[in-house]
A and B are shown apart, each in its own frame.
Chain A
Amino acid sequence: MSDDAELNTTSVDLGGLLTVLGANLYSSPEVAVRELVQNAHDACTRRRIEAPGAGVGEIVIGASPGRIWIEDTGAGLTRDEIKRYLATIGAGYTGVLRRSTEVSALIGAFGLGFLSAYMVAKRVEVVSTSYQSPDIGVRFVSDSGRTYVIQAAPARSIGSRIDLELRDECAHIADLFTLERVLHAHCRLLHVPIRLDWSGRVINAHPPPWRREDLAGAPPVRLRRERLDFVAQFDPNFAPLCVLPIARREPGDPGEGLVWVHDANTYGSTDNRRLSVFVRGMRVAANERDLLPAWAGFASGLYEADALTPTASREALQKDEVFERARRQIARELGSGLAALAGEEPDSWRRVLRRHNEALLGAAIADDALFMALKDELTLPTSAGDLTAAAIAARSDHCIHVAQAEEAGLDGLLARTLGAPIVDGMRYGAFAFARKWAQINTAGFVQVGSSRGLDALFPPAAVAAEEMALLESWFGANARVRAARFAPAALPLLVVEDEDAALKSFLDSDEADARLGAGALALARAFTTKVEGGPTRVVIVNLESPAIAEALRRRDPQVAQLLGALIDLIGARAAKRGGLADALTEISNALVAILGRTP
């Protein structure tokens, strides 16, 4: 070190630091109540650890206009502890105790909780008597946290009481309704009884079902009722359709809880997920929706897991490996719970289906077990109304036709002609659900209106070379010709688009040259060079058609021309191609030619 070097201590502007921490660490002043209740709770836990036999303890909360107070029967603080822990930011005793005892009921970790008192109060007073010196009282008073006074006080019963004289802008916290709401939301699962001084009500009198030993082995009906009751108390404004347990069934499952299905109509992509997460009994996240699967837009829940790590503000969770395990556990439990519901609660199940059919289509494609439970229960939107996949397949020769466009082309028209219900593949989840159902049930799956669908609907049929040559001479001027056999026989032929050939044709056009860069075009053409070029239309000739058979027998091109023009005319695509006038002209010409012939 050089001669002019000097060792200095970094100065801290405590007032500024308090302002910054207070304004940025917590989202709202109401959080201060939670933090102070948590301190009281930890004091009770500490007493239980360090002075066994003292009982569970109690926390009482009171309020009057502009003031709130929190009193506990915890361990209390000595004068020295007040200096070391209460008056030193970031040096809480709870974290020390938790690390040395590994007691999971202790909540605090960072020594920042007491800081929140200064966020909301212009004056903070603590009176305390420690179990270590039950005959001595101590009083701590601070205005805004920058300076404080400690003095002796008359001994009181063991424990502490904190009084907050609220800042004007935070006075609303003392409103009894607000205070009860805040306490109810955050402290509902704490272990130490929390009593409201003004009503005598203990807000956490009823522990959650997963903690109740008296429910072990209880009949399913009672379990269901207890869960419903608990959820109703947890959120009295909400009536769930059903409540499912989140249980620890596999090693590594981090927590337990409940998840419930909303009694409200949804569409498929509605996302009303809400999940309250509790760590060591304290709510640390009001809406950790990412812990619920993306498909569960119809569900809410509450989840308790002490292994989850809250952020410093304890208003969110760290997205670590435990979080991932929790996410997987909740998804598994929700999926299996819904799957079991059909057998265990048929009435609830019917209501769930009625409310959330579309959303469940999406859920089922994401969860195999759920899919197996739902595959014959959910309905798909079809051209013949809402039908189960099984009902659709039964009406379509064990095949499901799905259209992904309103204009499904002539093949779609054909399917309708045949009476096959066509699934509206543009609706949420319908396409993927129908495809999965077909795969699992080894049923046919046809995408009407696509080249891929053509192969399934119209497999090429054997035809004599001479007849094929005739068909090509009649219909192959601007199209590829395929001979096939299909019902109804009254339909002589279809005209459809070959997507790959159309793509190649466009990419080879001047339009594409003008609008795409040379590099991008080269990449695109690297694919289309492998595609067979030529006409972009495919004419599918129906060998079952008596008209076609007659045309082939008579080798009559005019009959064929007439048939082709008629089909083009009724084809849904004719108008789009501007071919209506052309088709009428061709029909007229063909009729004139046929009528003008010598018999």
Chain B
Amino acid sequence: MSKVWDWVHDLLYALDDAGEQAVADAVLNIGTYANDRDYEQLEAVYPVLLGYARANELPWLEVYARHWRLQAYLNGGQRLQEMLPEAVSLIARTAREDARDCPQRRCAVQDISIAYAAVDAPGYAAERLAAVSETAAEIDPSYSCSGCLMSEAVEALCSLNRHAEALRLGFDWLERARAEPEFRYTEVHFWSTQARGIFDAAIAIGDLAAAERILTRAEPETEEDHLWKAMAQSRFELARGDSAAAAEHLPQMMEPRYGLLRPRWLEVATVLALSGAIANDAELGAQAKSVLETAEANGLWRHAFNAACNGAELALARGRPAAAALRLQDGARLRAHLRGSHGADERLAALQTRAAQTAPAGGSDAEAALDAALAAGDAAAGAIALATLNEARERWALLAAPA
């Protein structure tokens, strides 16, 4: 499976011979930085590689460097406004005469597919499936990029709600890959990363045995892997109907650098909050807003839209129609960025109807003020409302305490 990377090893030897140790280190490390979402180190070494590649007319190295940089940002759900054009530009670069035989040209197809999935997965699902399928058809599982393309195809099928097909495709590929002796070198990567879409498909159609098989075999390496596995465990418990166990496994909401995990976290948290397994409070509403804002800032339009709807749903369940209305305004604004409805219009309309019919819940004025402040993102007003609420709680605790 190393045939895709053989030229990189040759390049490393050549760089070493030429005394270009700094460039060789950059070649060696850029993939690690990308996988670790170490954006700072990535941005430090990327120009070294790009500059060297262009100055020395090494088009394959240029494709290699740009691909890894894209992987970091796309898989982390970051800066899609900038990275989508870059993914388009890279695929065009691979079509130029001097790069047409570069083994990483298939990686560029994977990159553009991930980019569109991040922007609007269902909106571009058909095109994504076509792109990765035609590229996958050029190669067999002895190429390491075959697994990446398979995982993209599986995710595209999930976006099209063809989950059974996705599951079949994933496990069929696994069977074929196992026949390749060198699969043992990438099997850990398969279970830990490439099988995530297969897990989604298994959960969607209730094939818990398949989901558990993936969960058991996944061996997290990076922090992101750990977070994904914790969330997968939570979703698995939810699918089994054990909300309490699901709540126990759900990690804390992750930092913004894990841009694609946060919307998934909110999906699970919303289900758990609506079932009463975790608290549906103003703080959760504020987290929904935070997920929405980071997704929007990074150009993850479908995720941002869904986060707005989740925030509205949570607010309605708390009996806070005013807070829900703010999220629905966000949803209506974000809808304009989506490519096709794919259920978005129906969801938005249903929530708007419910919001119009929902009367504000009881509770103290301070609670309502806190909810409103957090929903509007007014930190100062939120802090005042929280202080007022805590004071009120202390007063009640004193009054309720036995003499």
Contact = CB atoms under 8 A, between A and B. Distances in A.
Interface string A518-533: 1110111011100000
A406 B41 contact: no
B69 to A, nearest CB: 12
A524 B50 CA distance: 22
Contacts of A430: 47
B131 A523 contact: yes
Contacts of A593: none
Contacts of A528: 88
A365 B44 contact: yes
Give the 9 A-B residue pairs with the shortest CB-CB distance, closest first. Answer: A426-B51, A519-B130, A519-B131, A366-B40, A362-B44, A432-B43, A269-B25, A515-B95, A429-B44
Contact of B85 (A362, A406, A523, A527): A527
Interface stretch (B109-117, B140-148, B237-245, B354-362): B109-117
Given A426-B52, A522-B130, A503 B89 contact: yes
B29 A406 contact: no
Contacts of A295: 40-41, 44
A426 B43 CA distance: 11
Contacts of B52: 426
Contacts of B50: 404, 426
A458 interface: no
A267 B22 contact: yes
Interface in A257-275: 267-271
A423 to B, nearest CB: 10
B92 A520 contact: no
A520 B38 contact: no
A431 interface: yes
Interface string A405-438: 1100000000000000000011111111000000
A519 B132 contact: yes
Contacts of A507: 88, 92
Instruction: Tell which of A271, A520, A524, A527 has the most Cβ of chain B within 10 Å.
Output: A520
Given A515-B95, A516-B95, 20 more contacts: A268-B45, A294-B29, A294-B33, A362-B41, A362-B44, A365-B40, A365-B43, A404-B47, A406-B54, A406-B55, A431-B47, A503-B88, A507-B88, A512-B92, A515-B100, A516-B91, A519-B127, A523-B91, A524-B91, A527-B88
Contacts of B129: 519
Contacts of B54: 405-406
Nearest to A362: B44
B88 A404 contact: no
B92 A428 contact: no
Contacts of A269: 22, 25-26, 29, 44-45, 48
B293 interface: no
B367 interface: no
Interface of B: 21-22, 25-26, 29, 32-33, 36, 38, 40-41, 43-45, 47-48, 50-52, 54-55, 84-85, 88-89, 91-92, 94-95, 100, 109, 112-113, 116, 124, 127-135, 221, 223
B102 to A, nearest CB: 12
Interface in A505-554: 506-507, 511-512, 515-520, 522-524, 526-528
Q: Which of B45, B48, B133 counts the most chain A CB atoms within 10 A?
A: B48
Nearest to B84: A527
A324 interface: yes
B165 to A, nearest CB: 17
B47 A427 contact: yes
A428 B45 contact: yes
A361 interface: yes
15 contacts: A294-B29, A294-B38, A294-B41, A361-B44, A362-B44, A366-B38, A428-B22, A431-B47, A515-B95, A519-B133, A520-B135, A522-B127, A522-B130, A523-B88, A526-B124
Contacts of A506: 92, 95
Contact of B41 (A366, A511, A518): A366
A522 B22 contact: no
Contacts, number: 135
Interface in A387-414: 404-406
A522 B109 CA distance: 11
Contacts of B48: 268-269, 426-428
Interface centre among B47, B48, B54, B91 (most CB of A within 10 A): B47
B122 to A, nearest CB: 14
Interface size class for chain A?
A: 35 or more
Contacts of A517: 109, 131, 134-135
A405 B51 CA distance: 6
A506 B94 CA distance: 12
A430 B22 CA distance: 14
Contacts of B32: 294
A426 B91 CA distance: 22
B383 to A, nearest CB: 24
Contacts of A499: 89
B25 A270 contact: yes
Contacts of B41: 294-295, 362, 366
Residue of A365, A425, A499, A517 with most partner-chain B CB within 10 A: A517
Contacts of A498: none
Contacts of B94: 516
Given A426-B50, A527-B85, A518 B92 contact: no
Contacts of B91: 516, 520, 523-524
Contacts of B26: 269, 428
A503 B92 contact: yes
Nearest to B30: A269
Contacts of A333: none
A500 interface: yes
The residue among A269, A361, A429, A503 with the most chain B CB atoms within 10 A of its own CB is A269
A402 to B, nearest CB: 9
B112 A524 contact: yes
B131 A522 contact: yes
Nearest to A514: B95
A269 B45 CA distance: 7
Contacts of A526: 116, 124, 127
A406 B109 CA distance: 28
B142 to A, nearest CB: 20
A432 B22 CA distance: 17
B94 to A, nearest CB: 8
Contacts of A404: 47, 50-51
Given A324-B223, A427-B47, A524 B88 contact: yes
Contact of A294 (B36, B84, B109): B36
A406 B32 CA distance: 27
B145 to A, nearest CB: 14
B247 to A, nearest CB: 19
Contact of A432 (B40, B88, B100, B127): B40
Nearest to B221: A319
Contacts of A516: 91, 94-95
A268 B100 CA distance: 32
B378 to A, nearest CB: 26
A71 B51 CA distance: 61
Given A427-B47, A517-B134, A271 B25 contact: yes
Given A268-B44, A365-B40, A428-B44, A523 B223 contact: no
